[in-house]
Every structure is written in structure tokens, then in C-alpha cells.
Amino acid sequence: MDRRLYDRMRSAGLEEFACDAWVNESGRVVRFEQWMKVSGASAHNVVTLKNFSAPVPVSAPK
């Protein structure tokens, strides 16, 4: 989680946060699960990523 997002969530009442990630043999995240508790309410998210396109070349900014 990005530090700025974490700070915003904490100010909105985030009490707990955990995340598990599954990485395939190519190094891609193919699934993750999140558990969080915000202002006394619990949530559990499951995200599955598939059907990846070809890699896109990226270069450092100049």
C-alpha cells in the first residue's frame, strides 16, 4: 500500500489492514486478498488478475 493512501485511510478510521499476494513464475501478481477494519466495520476483498497482455517497454524519465 502506498504510504499516502495508508495515511489517508488511517485518518478516515482505518484500524487494521493486512494483504496477501500470490505471484506467478513470471513475477506477476495474479491474486491478492485484503482484510481491513475501518471504524469498527470489517471488509475482505479478493482480486484475481488474469489475461495479461504483452509486456510494455518503460524507460526512466529524462
Domain residue limits, the chain: 3-48
**In which band, very low, low, confident or very high, does the pLDDT at 34 lie, cut at 50, 70 and 90?**
very high
Tally: H helices and E strands in the chain = 1, 3
The answer to whether 11 and 4 are in contact (CB under 8 A) is no
Tell whether the model's pLDDT for residue 1 goes beyond 80: no
Mean pLDDT across 26-52: 93
* Lowest mean per-residue pLDDT among 1-10, 30-39, 41-50: 1-10
pTM, rounded to two decimals: 0.64
For the cut 70, the answer to whether the pLDDT of residue 47 exceeds it is: yes
Query: In angstroms, how far is CA 45 from the centroid of its own chain?
Result: 10
pLDDT of residue 33: 96
Neighbours of 40 (CB within 10 A): 7
CA distance 62 to 57: 15
